[in-house]
Chain A
Amino acid sequence: MPTLEDYKGETPAWCPGCGNFAILKTFKDAMLELGIEPYQFTMVSGIGQAAKFPHYIRCNTFNGLHGRALPVATGIRLANHEMPVIVATGDGDCYGEGGNHLIHSIRRNINVKLFVHDNQIYGLTKGQPSPTSMEGMVTKNQPFGVFSEQLNPMALAIALDCSFVARGFAGDIEQLKLLIKAAIQHKGFSLLDILQPCVTFNKINTYEWYKQRVYHIEPEYDPEDRVEAFRRALEWGERIPTGIIYKNNRPVLEERIPILKGAPLVRQPFDRSKLQATLKEFY
């Protein structure tokens, strides 16, 4: 069995007090409890503060380009559908630069776990608004405040019939651990949006701001009721729900591709014996 020490990665370069530390700690605890060893899974990330996450834990890693983690993760899953693939991303990386990939990954229902560290701001480039920044937020490059409507990732995902939609909070690691484990264990594309205070650049959505608003979705709530889930996803402002908002049992892409019924593609041998017959088809 692995120990917590086995997951210890490089030293994080995040700001002291960053919500990412809590997510990192909770993620390691969750992986330990699930018994998934570092060599057994792959993390894919893009660019942003969250995208450095895979370096701070021991695991197979593909740290690619801004916004492009999901297609890389899709390629990895299609080549090896026995390997858990987890994407660590942020609100700018995933909802901004990578928006198109998010939409189509949800549609495909590739069995990838998407953890969005949502701090409602760009941290790495020092304080520009992100797609989830609230309307009116004043930043250096938006002196009149953000004009655009705030993106609602939960509602977007439910509209696309995403297989698993949940929201956690970096200030509530007990629930967060449950959500991380539930997302990984769910069969299908899983979106876990994690509210994560940026202590340096976001002076609006602070720990205090979130703590006054977040509440656990009540246990009797039925996450398979899509219309009710959509209603719940629209809640934002005075009260912000956390927990599993929506899930379904849509078939997973990897299971629908006939040639992936058996061994993963990476372990399927290349059979050259048919080439002569294929050549004959040209006559």
Chain B
Amino acid sequence: MDYTIKIGGEAGQGIQTVGDTLARVFSRSGYHVFTNQDYESRVRGGHNFFQIRVSDEPVMAPREKVDILVAFDKESISQHAKELTEQGQIVYDSSSIGAIPHSETDTPNLLDIPFAKLAVDHGGSRIMANTVATGAILGMLKMSTEILNDIISDTFRKKGEDVIKANIDAAAAGHDFAVKNCLACLLMPADVTKAKMLLTTIEAIGFGAIASGCKFYAAYPMTPSTGIMNYLAGKEMEYGIVVEQAEDEIAAINMALGASFAGVRAMTGTAGGGFALMVEGLSLAAMTETPVVIALGQRPAPATGLPTRTEQGDLLFPIFTSHGEFPRAVFAPGTPEQAFYLTNKAFELAEKYQIQAIIIFDQYLADAEWTYEGFDLDKITFHDYRVRGDRLNALQEYKRHAYTATGVSPLGIPGESKHLVVTDSDEHSEEGHIIEDAETRVKMVHKRLFRKLPLIKKEMSPPFLYGDSHPEIVITGWGSTYGVMKEAVDLLSKGMKIAMLHFSEIYPFPETEKFDYLSLLENARMTICIENNAGGQFAKLMRAETGYEFTAKINKYDGRPFILEGLTGEIDAHFRRL
């Protein structure tokens, strides 16, 4: 069983609430869920959709075909009716968007449910039309409203018993109407029971930051990174985190550096345009060796681009942007689970080496919800690398930028001992004061760059291999293409010896010692680099770092994510040319 439900409508109609609620009902019922969103850069109007894939097997990518299309506007039908499966059904309320004559669509399965009327009749207000719709969809799947009722109770707890009861009644009305009237109800297998966790990559990064001891987050709102700030702001009291909205991204990174200098783990987040403003601060962090973690949400650019859509266009940007030369760590998680653990790794490496760790993701991955059995909190490491209070006081002398074998100097906390903590954006002495002499300059470059870089490189994990162990075809990607590539391998492995290589730890580029991925690529007949960008940035990076050149590329740069059938079709077309 593998169903897709698409909810379409204008911004402001609440499609996200319906989608989120359904996804939560499915995950709590024990099903595997994958959701993704497509929305315009506006608060009201336009056309948006929320797509849910639900299955009894793990799912991690959007599919082309839709089983239930919930239309809150006419646009949903004109744009998406063609995506319906043969038995697919359209659900809508003719009193809201007008009757849809069968001639307007190929599908015979039109289910007109009076969401608004049922809401008024059973809930007492038209405002509950979305609750009716949510109940109706569960009815079409022959699922009970028990879990939905729990969610309603939680959501409206503060509004009181009356509101809860009205919503539960509204949901029941939608549910009963659908059960009686649905033309081809879908069957959900009932043998899944264990509730799963459901979360987005945004939440995973936020939770990962909390689990890593992040105490300070400064940012300027920018899609698709804003959710991290919102999530952390909701946890301020519980975990003792200060979240400050800065006046711009320049201020945001400088505030984070100030907090880090003062002794707390600090982070900022932004999108490509905001990161462009942060680059000056990135190099300040490098020169002052101040640890900081930056979450970079990609979206189609240049400039404002397509603000709410998706692209993997900023891979080389965070790796190479700088005035001057300095090391950094760049991660590109492909799933919320990877995002959680890699955010932890970013905090650990940033502090251990006093560098800047950047986590890149994109709009598609940011908003997509995934299900998991759970996360293992024992895998989270927390090591305080700072030299505090008594330990600092016990030192005979203290030099913030002392030369050491590893290039890593003791990271003291200002104000906690008689030792002064001094740092400078100018080239500086071990003590942190401005210098001009060539000898110190060379020593400092050695310390910051040549000593640290090989150590950081050793920390980076090799790519993840999935599929055939002696593949003829290797598809390679990074970041958000993980799910769609993995499912493509599953679908195509019946007809070909295929494997996936996925890179989530990108820079410094992983060595081949732990896993000789280069041999794997060289021994394959065809290697395809799959990227959600136009220029093939990872392919270029691979060539620059290893000399290896992929035999083929698949690139998508329309601002939309890869769809499973679309990707398998393209891979298959390449395979046929072999």
CB proximity of B369 to chain A, nearest CB, Å? 10
A274 to B235 CA separation, bound complex (whole angstroms): 11
A178 to chain B, nearest CB (A): 26
Interface residues of B in 179-223 (CB under 8 A from A): 195-199, 203, 207, 210-211, 213, 215-216, 218
Cα-based distance from A278 to B237 in the complex (angstroms) = 13
Closest partner residue, chain B, to A282 (CB atom): B197
Size bracket of the A interface: 35 or more
Q: Does A44 sit at the interface, judged by CB under 8 A? A: yes
User: Do the beta carbons of A265 and B240 come within 8 Å of each other?
Assistant: yes
Contact, CB under 8 Å: B251 / A101: yes
Q: Is the CB of B235 within 8 A of A278?
A: yes
Residues of B within 8 A of A63 (CB): 423-426, 434
Q: Are B199 and A74 in contact (CB under 8 A)?
A: no
Interface presence of A266 (CB below 8 A): yes
| A146-186 at interface with B (beta carbon < 8 Å) | none
| A83 with B415: CB separation less than 8 A | yes
Which residues B412-443 have CB closer than 8 A to chain A?
413-415, 417-426, 432-434
Q: Does A144 have its Cβ within 8 Å of any Cβ on chain B? A: no
Are B255 and A265 within 8 A (Cβ)?
no
CB closest chain-A residue, reference B206: A278
Q: Which residues of A contact B262 (CB under 8 A)?
A: 42, 75-76, 79-80, 83, 266
The residue in chain A whose Cβ has the minimal distance to the Cβ of B422 is A61
What is the bound-complex CA distance between A71 and B251, given in angstroms?
A: 5
A5 within 8 A of B: no
Determine if B216 and A39 form an interchain contact, defined as CB atoms under 8 angstroms apart: no
From residue 244 to 269 of chain B, which have CB atoms closer than 8 A to chain A?
Answer: 244, 246-248, 250-252, 254-264, 266
Tally inter-chain residue pairs, CB-CB below 8 A.
189
A75-B239 contact in complex given A63-B426, A270-B382, C-beta closer than 8 Å: no
User: Please, what's the 1-or-0 string for A27-66, where 1 marks a CB less than 8 Å from any CB in chain B?
Assistant: 0000000000011111010010000101100111111110
* Residues of chain B contacted by A65 (CB below 8 angstroms): 254, 280-281, 284, 425
Given the known interface contacts A63-B426, A78-B242, the answer about A68 and B215 at a Cβ–Cβ threshold of 8 Å is: no
Bound-state Cα–Cα, A283 to B154, Å: 13
Chain B: residues with Cβ within 8 Å of the partner, total of: 67
Measured CB to CB, the nearest residue on chain A to B386 is A266
Asked if A260 is at the interface (CB within 8 A of a chain B CB), the reply is: yes
Q: Which of A64, A266, A276 interacts with B254 by CB under 8 Å?
A: A64
- B354: Cβ under 8 A from any A Cβ: no
**A219–B268 CA distance with the chains assembled, in angstroms:** 47
Closest residue on chain B to residue A83 by CB atoms: B415
B412: nearest chain-A partner, CB-CB: A60
Residue B28 CB within 8 A of the other chain: yes
Task: Compute how far the CA of A191 lies from the CA of B216 in the bound complex, rounded to whole angstroms.
Answer: 26
A276–B235 Cα distance when bound, in Å, is 14
A274 in contact with B237 (CB, 8 Å): no
What are 8 residue pairs bridging A and B, where the CB atoms are less than 8 Å apart in the complex?
A: A59-B420, A72-B254, A76-B259, A79-B216, A80-B262, A83-B414, A104-B246, A275-B210
Q: Which residues of A contact B (CB under 8 A)?
A: 10, 38-42, 44, 47, 52, 54-55, 58-65, 68, 70-80, 82-83, 100-101, 103-104, 257-260, 265-266, 268, 270-272, 274-276, 278-279, 282-283
Beyond known contacts A72-B254, A259-B237: 18 more, CB 8 A cutoff: A41-B415, A42-B415, A61-B432, A62-B258, A64-B254, A64-B257, A65-B280, A71-B252, A71-B254, A72-B261, A73-B258, A76-B258, A76-B259, A76-B262, A101-B250, A258-B236, A271-B240, A278-B235
